[in-house]
């Protein structure tokens, strides 16, 4: 196959990484959601390219699924939530931003080092991107750790999912159909339940600040 | 598999019978009549049967049996040899007396329902039976822990009282600790064969180092149950807490079962022998004996006093065990057999005498509702049966000839007299040190027993209500009588007893003591020239002299006997407050052995209108050993709690760091 | 066929109760459905007894000696829990702690949870296994927060986020696994994630990828097992949810998660001929049991106490699986069985006691024996069983684990024994105070609803004294399989 | 150890009766010597007999709350001391009855007597009785180990614990000097003083509440019971002295009553030895002052120490 799709996919990968960093550094929650949607878009594009270049039917399907879920449905739910809870502003992160970004950088390097030998083995064209996928997962994880607000933790959670899908798509041209469906379903249900929870938290603690959720502990 | 299985099957059947009795008790679990009057006597019959089985088994060879239950790879093995047989006799005979006593003892409306109590009681008996019969590690541990568990429930049958809960908790905790050590010792003992039947353990080859580890683990595990210092703290708490028949069983039988375990491991399972094991055991025994008797002497609660005296006796038993090990490791089987005989003999003595005394205190408790020595006295007038039968137990524990307690001490001292022949310098110096410690303990035991008996049964009643106290019932008398006669018989016919016990030495050490002379009248385990003691003659002599004197006095001088109030230096009447209190009686001990005790005194000032004197004695070891452990555990727990402060980001960080660390690790 | 029944019964039940769960007869329906599931499980068991390991529905489902008894166990505990919750939840409704709507939620999700458990156990596809576990989490997270108390919400949130993250990592691990497998089995079709196929080729799987995959899987599923330091959700979730939920969380979910870990361990251990997987599991197990044992000393809430005890026992089982070898695996499987039986019954009695006392704070629960003897004895015996007192089965498994540890890893034995003793001291101290002693409350009617508890304890007792030959045979085969 | 023949048994009985009859004489002799040493004329050595006779003729008074035990004890005391006398060789060593109890059992016998006395003392429940019992037992548990150590030393040398055999060995083996025996003998004398309520441990003559030990235990006794108690006390002293003689000055003891020659030598030897020993006791009692009660433990501890030294010497030097 031509090197064009490969370059395109690598570009997508770079974009994904960039978007993750953007999310990590972003304070306003709504913007984070937008970034998340953008990430979903890039992801579906990359899957589409892969499908198109390798003529794998089920990849088209999963591309569509991604588009539907991660670009349309989930961001929609999130935005509505944020509006209903007017939670559209983030206080300071637990760590100050520069150090968070620095840690993120280190994580990316670590992820590359980790993925290097494995992507050697990959038979797929797109194997080089595994490292990026791993990096995306880790950055999302870091974001969950550093944020104080429930909503941005949710966003981080979803972003992890993205990295995962990307890894699946890039290393093995996607997971088996049944699994993809299951994962999609779970993410959707999970998202809904999270939404419910945000409301519960809201009505219990009059705020979405996680510092209220620290009463159960060993004293 | 040698021999027929008749005796072993009989023993198993008796164990099953006990369990059945326990379950039957649940049918009408609230009827004292059914459980007490109907079931317990039957249980005591089974006890007699068990003793008989044991005696028969002593004559015959080893029997083994495999039960179809247990792990698929490791079904329960049972084995009946001379050692087990001796302890079967001990268990059966004691249980017979205690059960028949208990039949009359339990009253309605005390703590746990009688049916449940009966179940726990008989499970306790059966589990002890199976401990003695067990022939593989798993079934041994099963029976062992069931024993601990059932006795725990018996101890806590009055669980409404907080101090009894504390006692039970401490007891079960230390028992669990000991059990862990025992499991560990079995695990080391198998030495790579990974077979846990006792045959396999016997066959295992161990280096002295590993063998020593086994020895120490077993010493710890069984010592915790037997109550050797410093693992004794639970004993004076738990034994008094239980109902008296249970205290009798725990002190009289369970402690000896622990000794059985140690004998089994050291003399039977462990093939390797290291000479200093015996020294360690003997040293611990001496320490325990002295510690126990000193603390017993300063107690003011009669059951605590007896419990501490049990600690002392266990110490004496350990001394004998230590001597056995020493002689055995220096290949002096004959002497080892003598020491072993002394050990086993003392086990039997302690079983009978101590359970007799505990039952006696039970009757006193029922009659007066008092355990505090300071509120008793003069009961010999009110409850003559208990008093006179308890006198037998008192003399036996005090090691007074011609009663049984003296026989074992005599044997022990005799075997001490052979230590100079040990071909190793310093070890042969045991005689002055060990023997003197032993004699000191024995002499103190006499002091202690005078205090116990004199204050409880003699003198004047220290409380008015004691005047209403009544003697014990018929069944209780029967139980006391049974145990007392056991004490007397063991005292008067040591030769015959030794002829039976000797089988154990024959089996485990390949040597035995000399056969009895003169139809067993003369007791000379080594040789008549060397040492001889004939309790029968002794008793005969005393009796003859007493009779003669009485006769002569009656014939020659027939002066009248006048009763009068005792003279108390002047007009004022004699009041109970004038007699010595238990604190007063133990004052010399407190003064002489002050460093042993942790005392808190409240002395009245000379100008005190209502002078009030109080002395409280505590165990130093508790503060030296146990408190620090508890504190450190709490500290670690607090430190561990620090990782869990409730913040979810921190938790996520934990997961993240774990992930990174593992990734780096596999990288 | 039987497999369909087994899976469809709870699923149908879930759907049905999801709509009608607040009716008067809903609890009975819940029981009936669980009973049907249990019957199906028994049928399946009998099936495997005759046929041996079997595949169903085009390789998608399979039953071997490893999961067959877990299926039976899950169905059984699910059944007993349904029986218990019947009375328990009624009282909760009477106390107005939950309304009808949430009762509906409860019943529906309960069946859904059972369904996911059985799916996770019987599926042949590691991807579906992941999906099922995620589903189980989604089903239980709302059950944990059923009371909508601040504590409940917080516990559920932590549960969700921690386990969600964990499960996502597990998915990454699965992807890596798939990646490694697809090179051998071809990515076309779905058979590259079929356990049976993977297990055949595990020798050739790339060691490097699998080691990475295992790290993700272990951290992922390990979070659900409650391995320290990933366990923090567990005590909160157990303490805040209703007693039946705590029972199934401890009794079933942890088991199934551990089952998943072990399945992965088999592959990894087969692929990379080093003890990496085993050592990892041993390390986690050791850390988990020791820390949990000490943390037990700090507990004030009775369900939290038993939750930590679950953590400890999961640590023990993980450690045993880590050691590997026929004896240790045998012991670990036995331990899983007896633990879930005992622990669920413990949560029943503890929940009952807490319901009567109106609090879960242990200082406030006293004199249970006086309050109601059968509950008191149930709690006491269950506690002694879980603490490894003979003749209960837990003792047997712990005995085997200790002696194996002594043989293969002598350094570990002191820790094991320390754990046992420390845990004993902590738990027994509190339970004794709860069971014994005086209570201000008047004595309750003797009739107890704890038949199931005594049935379970009887089973545990039996497993201590006698293991049925079939069960033993399964244990042995499974131990062989796990290696 | 002599053969068990009828003559032997009869001779044994005779010896025992002799000991029982002679015992008060020794007591009288000791008191007489004390009087002389203190420049008093003294009551004469037959005084104890007169005392006993007088007491026997009185009517007994017993405390109203005395139990049967209280009345039994005097006989037990007397019987046990008589039994001891039957075991301890006085004139000859061939005592067939000696097999009944060796030295260890002998210590047990004395312990029994003491224990019964203490119990009887506590029976009435007066202040003195229980204090006396306490002190009696205190002396007892301090003295017993020392006495046993002494016996052990001799048993090690003679390779037997049977008293006649030991004495036999010492009497008829070629003379050898045993330093260990020197220690043992000193310890024994100290034990003897303590056990027989002599100064410096106790004063048999005093009835001062705070100091008396033995007397306090028998305060409640009167008439025949008191007579038996006193008699057994005298017998106890006699027994102890005879033990000491048999262990440390066994020379002159005959093997058996069979040969008159031996007896002809033995009898005067015994008289002489008793006289010397009694005088020595009196001397000790005169030279020492009664010590406070809580010096007694130190005193007996010294005795214990000496006995142990003897044992160690025996073990180390084999002499």
Chain C residues touching A145 at Cβ < 8 A? none
Chain B residues touching C469 at Cβ < 8 A? 72
B183:C402 CB<8 A = yes
Cis peptide leading into residue B617 (ω within 30°): no
A145:B652 CB<8 A = yes
Note the helical H segments in chain A. Answer: 3-25, 29-54, 57-66, 74-84, 97-121, 130-146, 150-172, 177-205
Neighbours of chain B (3+ CB pairs under 8 A): A, C, D
Q: Mind telling me how many Å the CA of C455 is from chain A's nearest CA? A: 34
Chain B residues touching C467 at Cβ < 8 A? 71-72
Percent of chain D residues topping a pLDDT of 70? 96
Provide the pLDDT confidence category of residue A126 given band limits of 50, 70 and 90.
low
Tens of pLDDT, residues C386-413: 998 878 889 989 988 988 888 888 889 8
pLDDT of residue B26: 84
pLDDT of residue B70: 77
Q: By the CB < 8 Å criterion, does C294 face chain B?
A: yes
Strands B597-602 and B63-70: unpaired
> What domain range includes position D173?
6-317
Q: Mind telling me how many Å the CA of C267 is from chain A's nearest CA? A: 18
pLDDT of residue C406: 84
Lowest mean pLDDT among A41-55, A76-90, B292-306, D226-240: A76-90
Provide the pLDDT confidence category of residue A1 given band limits of 50, 70 and 90.
very low
* Secondary structure (H, E, C), chain D: CCCCCHHHHHHHHHHHHHHHHHHHHHHHHHHHHHHHHCCCCCCCCCHHHHHHHHHHHCCEEEECCCCHHHHHHHHHHHHHHHHHHHHCCCCECCCHHHHHCCHHHHHHHHHHHHHHHHHHHHHHCCHHHHHHHHHHHHHHHHHHHHHHHHHHHHHHHHCCCCHHHHHHHHHHCCCCCCHHHHHHHHHHHHHHHHHCCCCCCCCCCCCCCCCCCHHHHCCCCCHHHHHHHHHHHHHHHHHHHHHHHHHHCCCCCECCCCCHHHHHHHHHHHHHHHHHHHHHHHHHHHHCCCCCHHHHHHHHHHHHHHHHHHHHHHHHHCC
Rounded Cα–Cα distance for residues B532 and C303 (Å): 68
Distances (CA, A) of B547 to A212, B523, D75, D119: 93, 25, 9, 21
Residue B1 has pLDDT above 50, yes or no: no
pLDDT of residue B655: 92
CA A198 to chain CA centroid, Å, is: 19
Name the residue with higher pLDDT: D121 or B574.
D121
Neighbours of chain C (3+ CB pairs under 8 A): A, B
**Taking residues A95-114, what's their average pLDDT?**
87
Q: Which of B352, B292, B351, B299 is nearest to B316 (CA)?
A: B292
For residue D185, tell me if it sits in a domain: yes
Cis peptide leading into residue B402 (ω within 30°): yes
Residue B297 has pLDDT above 70, yes or no: yes
Residue B103 has phi, psi (to 5 degrees) of: -55, -40
Q: Mind telling me how many Å the CA of C465 is from chain B's nearest CA? A: 5
Chain A residues touching C190 at Cβ < 8 A? 176-179
Tens of pLDDT, residues D78-136: 999 999 988 888 888 777 777 788 888 899 999 999 999 999 988 888 888 888 888 88
Chain A residues touching C131 at Cβ < 8 A? 179, 182-183, 185-186
- Quick one: closest CA in D to B560, which residue? D59
- Quick one: closest CA in D to B457, which residue? D123
Provide the pLDDT confidence category of residue C208 given band limits of 50, 70 and 90.
confident
Residue C431 has pLDDT above 60, yes or no: yes
Rounded Cα–Cα distance for residues B402 and C224 (Å): 71
D79:B541 CB<8 A = yes
Residue C34 has pLDDT above 80, yes or no: yes
- Quick one: closest CA in A to B638, which residue? A219
Residue B315 has pLDDT above 50, yes or no: yes
Residue B514 has pLDDT above 60, yes or no: yes
Rounded Cα–Cα distance for residues B332 and B326 (Å): 9
Chain B residues touching C390 at Cβ < 8 A? 141-142, 144-146, 149
Q: Which of C227, C237, C75, C61 is nearest to C132 (CA)?
A: C61
Q: Mind telling me how many Å the CA of C153 is from chain A's nearest CA? A: 7
Q: Which helix (H) or strand (E) holds B402?
A: none
ipTM value for the complex: 0.86
The answer to whether B528 touches B522, Cβ cutoff 8 Å, is yes
Q: Is C386 exposed, middle or buried (0-12, 13-18, 19+ CB in 10 A)?
A: buried
DSSP helix, strand, coil percent of chain B (3-state; round to 5): 70, 5, 25
Q: By the CB < 8 Å criterion, does A215 face chain B?
A: yes
Residue C43 has pLDDT above 80, yes or no: yes
Indicate the pTM of the whole model: 0.89
Rounded Cα–Cα distance for residues B317 and B289 (Å): 9
- Chain mean pLDDT for chain A: 83
Q: By the CB < 8 Å criterion, does C280 face chain A?
A: no
**Taking residues B445-459, what's their average pLDDT?**
91
pLDDT of residue B109: 61
Q: By the CB < 8 Å criterion, does A200 face chain B?
A: no
pLDDT of residue D319: 60
pLDDT of residue B466: 79
Residue B110 has pLDDT above 60, yes or no: no
Residue C448 has pLDDT above 70, yes or no: no
Mapped onto helix, strand or coil, the DSSP state of residue A71 is helix
* Angle in degrees, CA A127, A129, A135, rounded to 5: 135
pLDDT of residue B288: 94
pLDDT of residue B520: 62
For residue D73, tell me if it sits in a domain: yes
Chain B residues touching D97 at Cβ < 8 A? 537, 541
Mutate to test the interface with B, among C212, C272, C297, C330 (most CBs of B within 10 A): C297
Count Cα atoms within 13 angstroms, Cβ side, for B351: 30
Chain B residues touching C281 at Cβ < 8 A? none
Rounded Cα–Cα distance for residues B218 and D57 (Å): 66
Find the CB nearest A182 among C127, C172, C189: C127
pLDDT of residue C314: 95
The answer to whether D82 touches D20, Cβ cutoff 8 Å, is yes
Lowest mean pLDDT among A12-21, A115-124, A195-204, B208-217: A115-124
Which residues have CB under 8 Å from C251's CB, separation 6+? Answer: C77, C81, C340, C341, C343, C344, C347
Percent of chain C residues topping a pLDDT of 90? 46
Mutate to test the interface with A, among B637, B644, B650, B652 (most CBs of A within 10 A): B652
Mapped onto helix, strand or coil, the DSSP state of residue C441 is coil
Tens of pLDDT, residues A29-69: 888 899 999 999 998 998 888 888 888 788 888 888 888 88
B634:C297 CB<8 A = yes
**Taking residues C259-271, what's their average pLDDT?**
89
- Quick one: closest CA in B to A214, which residue? B646
For residue D1, tell me if it sits in a domain: no
Chain B residues touching C429 at Cβ < 8 A? 169
D63:B564 CB<8 A = yes
pLDDT of residue A91: 61
Neighbours of chain D (3+ CB pairs under 8 A): B
Q: Which of D35, D22, D317, D31 is nearest to D176 (CA)?
A: D317
**Taking residues B132-145, what's their average pLDDT?**
90
Residue B136 has pLDDT above 50, yes or no: yes
A213:B648 CB<8 A = yes
Residue B2 has pLDDT above 50, yes or no: no
Residue C187 has pLDDT above 70, yes or no: no
Find the CB nearest B578 among D86, D108, D127: D127
Name the residue with higher pLDDT: C157 or D9.
C157
Tens of pLDDT, residues C344-387: 999 999 998 888 888 889 888 888 888 888 888 899 999 999 99
Angle, helix B137-155 to helix B162-189, in steps of 10 degrees: 170
Rounded Cα–Cα distance for residues D300 and D295 (Å): 9
Q: Which of B147, B157, B222 is nearest to B183 (CA)?
A: B222
Count Cα atoms within 13 angstroms, Cβ side, for C399: 27
- Quick one: closest CA in B to C277, which residue? B666
Rounded Cα–Cα distance for residues B151 and B171 (Å): 10
The answer to whether A146 touches A95, Cβ cutoff 8 Å, is yes
Q: Which helix (H) or strand (E) holds B333?
A: helix B333-368
pLDDT of residue D96: 77
**Taking residues C63-79, what's their average pLDDT?**
91
Task: List, as ranges, residues 229-258 from C with C-beta within 8 Å of A.
Answer: 235-236, 239-240
Tens of pLDDT, residues B49-96: 999 999 988 888 788 888 888 777 788 899 998 899 999 999 999 999
**Taking residues B221-227, what's their average pLDDT?**
92
Tens of pLDDT, residues B646-657: 888 899 999 999
Q: Which of A170, A171, A158, A135 is nearest to A49 (CA)?
A: A170
Task: List, as ranges, residues 348-407 from B with C-beta within 8 Å of D.
Answer: 377-378, 380-381, 391, 395, 398-401, 406
B649:A214 CB<8 A = no
- Chain mean pLDDT for chain B: 87
Q: By the CB < 8 Å criterion, does A117 face chain B?
A: no
Lowest mean pLDDT among B374-388, C223-237, C296-310: B374-388
Total domains in chain D come to 1
Provide the pLDDT confidence category of residue D2 given band limits of 50, 70 and 90.
very low
Task: List, as ranges, residues 191-210 from C with C-beta within 8 Å of A.
Answer: 192-193, 206, 208-209
Tens of pLDDT, residues D41-64: 888 888 889 988 888 888 888 888
**Taking residues C43-58, what's their average pLDDT?**
82
pLDDT of residue B162: 86
D145:B538 CB<8 A = no
Rounded Cα–Cα distance for residues C453 and C380 (Å): 12
Provide the pLDDT confidence category of residue C18 given band limits of 50, 70 and 90.
confident
Find the CB nearest C212 among B145, B654, B666: B666
Angle, helix A74-84 to helix A29-54, in steps of 10 degrees: 180
The secondary structure of B49-87 as a DSSP string is HHHHHHHHHHHS--EEEEEEEE-SSSEEEEEE-HHHHHH
pLDDT of residue D1: 42
Rounded Cα–Cα distance for residues B339 and B261 (Å): 17
- Chain mean pLDDT for chain C: 89
A141:B652 CB<8 A = yes
Report how far apart the first and last C-alpha atoms of chain B are (Å, whole number): 59
Provide the pLDDT confidence category of residue B571 given band limits of 50, 70 and 90.
low
A144:C298 CB<8 A = no
B401:D105 CB<8 A = yes
Residue A71 has pLDDT above 80, yes or no: yes
pLDDT of residue D116: 93
Chain D residues touching B420 at Cβ < 8 A? 156, 315
Rounded Cα–Cα distance for residues D107 and B218 (Å): 36
Q: By the CB < 8 Å criterion, does A94 face chain B?
A: yes
Residue B521 has pLDDT above 70, yes or no: no
Tens of pLDDT, residues C141-173: 989 988 888 889 999 999 999 999 999 899 989
Q: Is D37 exposed, middle or buried (0-12, 13-18, 19+ CB in 10 A)?
A: middle
The answer to whether B597 touches B617, Cβ cutoff 8 Å, is yes
Q: Which helix (H) or strand (E) holds B600?
A: strand B597-602
**Taking residues D224-230, what's their average pLDDT?**
90
């Amino acid at each position: 196959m031509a090197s064009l799709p490969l370059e395109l996919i690598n570009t997508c990968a770079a974009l994904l990484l960039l978007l993750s960093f953007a999310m990590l550094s972003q304070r306003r929650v709504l913007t984070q959601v937008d970034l998340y949607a953008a990430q979903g878009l890039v992801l579906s594009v990359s899957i589409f390219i892969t499908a198109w270049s390798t003529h794998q039917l089920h990849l088209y399907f999963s591309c569509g699924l991604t588009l539907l879920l991660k670009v349309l449905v989930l961001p929609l739910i999130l935005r509505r939530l944020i509006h209903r809870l007017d939670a559209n502003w983030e206080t300071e992160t637990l760590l100050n931003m520069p150090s968070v970004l620095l840690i993120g950088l280190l994580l990316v390097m670590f992820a590359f080092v980790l993925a290097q030998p494995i992507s050697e083995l990959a038979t797929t064209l797109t194997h080089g991107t595994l490292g990026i996928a791993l990096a995306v997962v880790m950055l999302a994880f870091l974001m969950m750790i550093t944020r104080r607000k429930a909503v941005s933790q949710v966003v981080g959670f979803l972003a992890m999912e993205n990295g995962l899908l990307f890894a699946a798509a890039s290393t093995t041209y996607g997971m088996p159909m049944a699994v993809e469906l299951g994962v999609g379903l779970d993410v959707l249900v999970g998202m809904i339940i999270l939404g419910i929870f945000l409301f519960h938290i809201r009505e219990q603690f009059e705020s979405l600040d996680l510092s209220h959720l620290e009463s159960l502990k060993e004293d | 598999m040698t021999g027929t299985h008749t005796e072993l099957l009989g023993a198993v059947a008796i164990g099953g019978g006990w369990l059945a009795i326990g379950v039957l008790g649940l049918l009408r679990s609230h009827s004292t009549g059914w459980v007490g009057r109907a079931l317990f006597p039957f249980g005591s019959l089974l006890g007699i049967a068990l003793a008989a089985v044991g005696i028969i088994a002593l004559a015959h060879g080893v029997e083994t049996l495999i039960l179809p239950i247990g792990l698929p790879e490791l079904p329960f093995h049972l084995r009946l040899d001379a050692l087990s047989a001796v302890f079967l006799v001990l268990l059966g005979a004691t249980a017979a007396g205690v059960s028949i006593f208990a039949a009359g003892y339990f009253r309605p409306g005390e703590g746990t329902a009688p049916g449940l109590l009966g179940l726990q009681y008989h499970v306790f008996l059966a589990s002890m039976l199976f401990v003695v019969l067990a022939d593989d590690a798993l079934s041994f541990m099963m029976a062992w822990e069931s024993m601990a568990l059932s006795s725990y429930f018996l101890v806590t049958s009055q669980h409404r009282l907080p101090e009894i809960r504390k006692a039970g908790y401490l007891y079960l905790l230390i028992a669990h600790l000991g059990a862990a050590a025992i499991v560990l010792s079995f695990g080391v003992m198998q030495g790579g064969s990974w077979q846990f039947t006792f045959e396999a353990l016997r066959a295992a080859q161990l280096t002295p180092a590993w063998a020593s580890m086994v020895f120490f683990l077993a010493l710890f595990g069984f010592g915790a149950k037997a109550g050797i210092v410093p693992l004794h703290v639970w004993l004076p708490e738990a034994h008094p807490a239980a109902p008296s028949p249970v205290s009798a069983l725990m002190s009289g039988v369970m402690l000896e079962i622990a000794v059985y375990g140690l004998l089994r491991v050291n003399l039977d399972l462990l093939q390797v022998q290291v000479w200093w094991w015996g020294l360690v055991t003997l040293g611990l025994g001496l320490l325990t004996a002295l510690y126990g008797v000193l603390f017993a002497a300063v107690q003011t609660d009669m059951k605590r006093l007896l419990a501490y005296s049990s600690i002392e006796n266990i110490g004496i038993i350990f001394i004998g065990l230590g001597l056995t090990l020493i002689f055995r490791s220096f290949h002096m089987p004959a002497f080892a057999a003598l020491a072993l005989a002394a050990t086993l003999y003392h086990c039997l003595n302690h079983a009978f005498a101590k359970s007799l005394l505990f039952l006696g205190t039970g009757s006193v408790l029922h009659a007066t509702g008092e355990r505090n020595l300071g509120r008793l006295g003069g009961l010999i007038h009110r409850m003559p049966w208990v008093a006179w039968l308890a006198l037998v137990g008192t003399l036996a524990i005090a090691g007074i000839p011609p009663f049984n307690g003296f026989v074992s001490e005599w044997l022990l001292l005799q075997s001490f007299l052979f230590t100079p022949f040990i071909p190793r310098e310093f070890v042969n110096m045991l005689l002055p040190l060990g023997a003197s410690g032993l004699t000191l303990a024995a002499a103190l035991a006499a002091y202690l027993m005078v205090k116990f008996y004199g204050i409880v049964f003699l003198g004047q009643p220290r409380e008015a209500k004691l005047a209403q106290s009544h003697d014990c019932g018929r069944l209780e008398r029967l139980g006391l009588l049974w145990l007392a006669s056991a004490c007397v018989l063991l005292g008067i016919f040591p030769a015959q007893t030794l002829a039976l016990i000797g089988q154990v030495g024959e089996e485990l050490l390949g040597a035995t003591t000399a056969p009895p002379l003169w139809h067993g009248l003369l007791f000379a385990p080594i040789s008549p020239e060397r040492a001889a003691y004939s309790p029968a003659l002794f008793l005969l002599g005393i009796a003859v002299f007493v009779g003669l004197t009485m006769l002569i006095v009656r014939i020659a001088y027939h002066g009248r006997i006048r009763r009068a109030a005792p003279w108390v230096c002047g007009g004022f009447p004699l009041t109970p407050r004038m007699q010595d209190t238990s604190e007063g009686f133990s004052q010399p001990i407190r003064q002489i052995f002050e460093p042993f005790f942790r005392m808190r005194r409240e002395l009245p000032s000379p100008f005190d209108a209502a002078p009030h004197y109080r002395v409280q004695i505590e165990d130093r070891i508790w503060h030296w050993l146990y408190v620090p452990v508890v504190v450190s555990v709490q500290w670690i727990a607090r430190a561990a709690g620090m990782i869990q402060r409730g913040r979810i980001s921190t938790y996520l960080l934990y997961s993240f760091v774990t992930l990174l660390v593992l990734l780096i690790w596999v990288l | 066929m039987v497999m369909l029944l087994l899976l469809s019964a709870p699923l149908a039940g879930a759907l049905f109760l999801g709509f009608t769960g607040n009716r008067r007869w809903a609890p009975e329906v819940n029981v009936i459905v669980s009973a049907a599931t249990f019957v199906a499980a028994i049928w399946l068991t009998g099936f495997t007894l005759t046929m041996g390991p079997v595949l169903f529905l085009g390789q998608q489902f399979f039953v071997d000696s490893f999961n067959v008894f877990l299926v039976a166990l899950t169905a059984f505990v699910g059944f007993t829990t349904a029986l218990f919750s019947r009375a328990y939840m009624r009282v909760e409704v009477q106390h107005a702690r939950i309304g009808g709507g949430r009762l509906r939620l409860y019943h529906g999700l309960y069946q859904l949870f059972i369904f996911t458990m059985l799916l996770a156990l019987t599926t042949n596809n590691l991807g579906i296994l992941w999906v099922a576990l995620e589903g189980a989490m989604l089903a239980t997270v709302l059950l944990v927060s059923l009371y909508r108390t601040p504590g409940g919400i917080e516990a559920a949130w932590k549960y969700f986020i921690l386990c969600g993250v964990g499960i996502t990592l597990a998915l990454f691990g699965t992807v890596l696994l798939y990646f490694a497998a697809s090179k051998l089995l071809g990515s076309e079709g779905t058979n590259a994630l079929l356990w049976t196929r993977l297990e055949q080729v595990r020798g050739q799987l790339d060691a490097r990828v699998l080691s990475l995959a295992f790290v993700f899987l272990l951290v992922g599923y390990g979070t659900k097992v409650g391995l320290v330091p990933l366990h923090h959700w567990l005590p909160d979730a157990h303490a805040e949810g209703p007693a039946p939920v705590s029972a199934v969380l401890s009794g079933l979910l942890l088991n199934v998660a551990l089952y998943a870990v072990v399945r992965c361990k088999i592959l990894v251990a087969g692929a990379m001929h080093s003890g990496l997987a085993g050592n990892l599991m041993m390390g986690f197990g050791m850390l988990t049991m020791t820390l949990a044992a000490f943390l037990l000393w700090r507990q004030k809430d009775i369900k939290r106490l038993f939750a930590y005890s679950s953590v400890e026992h999961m640590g023990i089982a993980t450690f045993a699986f880590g050691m590997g070898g026929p004896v240790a695996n045998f012991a670990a499987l036995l331990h899983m069985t007896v633990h879930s039986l005992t622990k669920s019954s413990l949560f029943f009695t503890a929940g009952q006691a807490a319901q009567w006392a109106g609090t879960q704070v242990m200082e406030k629960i006293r004199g249970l024996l006086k309050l109601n003897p059968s509950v008191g004895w149930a709690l006491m015996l269950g506690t002694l069983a879980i603490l490894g007192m003979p003749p209960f089965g837990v003792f047997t498994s712990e005995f085997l684990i200790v002696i194996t540890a002594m043989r293969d890893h002598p350094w570990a034995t002191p820790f094991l024994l320390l754990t046992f003793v420390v845990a004993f001291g902590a738990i027994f101290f509190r339970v004794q105070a709860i069971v014994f002693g005086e209570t201000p409350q008047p004595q309750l009617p003797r009739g107890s609803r704890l038949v199931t508890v005594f049935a379970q304890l009887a089973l545990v007792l039996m497993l201590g004294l006698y293991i049925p030959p079939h069960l033993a045979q399964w244990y042995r085969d499974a131990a062989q399989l796990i290696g | 150890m002599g053969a068990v023949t009828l003559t032997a048994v009869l001779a044994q009985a005779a010896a025992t009766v002799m000991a029982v009859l002679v015992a008060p004489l020794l007591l009288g002799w000791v008191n007489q010597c004390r009087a002389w040493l203190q420049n008093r004329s003294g009551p004469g050595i037959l005084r104890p007999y007169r005392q006993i006779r007088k007491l026997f003729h009185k009517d007994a008074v017993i405390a109203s709350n005395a139990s049967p035990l209280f009345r039994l004890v005097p006989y037990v005391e007397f019987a046990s001391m008589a039994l001891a006398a039957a075991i301890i060789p006085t004139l000859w060593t061939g005592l067939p009855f000696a097999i009944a109890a060796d030295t260890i059992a002998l210590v047990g016998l004395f312990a029994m007597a003491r224990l019964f006395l203490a119990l009887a003392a506590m029976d009435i429940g007066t202040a003195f009785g229980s204090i006396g019992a306490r002190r009696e037992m205190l002396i007892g548990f301090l003295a017993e180990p020392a006495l046993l150590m002494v016996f052990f030393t001799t048993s090690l040398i003679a390779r037997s614990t049977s008293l006649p055999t030991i004495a036999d060995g010492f009497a008829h083996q070629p003379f050898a000097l045993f330093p260990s025996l020197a220690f043992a003998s000193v310890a024994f004398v100290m034990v003897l003083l303590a056990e027989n309520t002599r100064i410096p441990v106790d004063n048999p003559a005093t009835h001062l509440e705070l100091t008396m030990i033995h007397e306090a235990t028998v305060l409640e006794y009167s008439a025949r019971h008191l007579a038996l108690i006193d008699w057994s006390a005298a017998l106890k002293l006699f027994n102890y002295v005879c033990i000491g003689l048999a262990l440390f000055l066994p020379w002159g003891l005959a093997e058996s009553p069979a040969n008159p020659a031996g007896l002809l030598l033995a009898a005067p030897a015994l008289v002489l030895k008793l006289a010397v020993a009694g005088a020595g006791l009196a001397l000790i009692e005169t030279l020492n002052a009664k010590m406070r009660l809580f010096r007694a433990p130190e005193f007996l501890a010294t005795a214990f120490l000496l006995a142990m030294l003897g044992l160690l010497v025996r073990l180390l030097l084999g002499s």
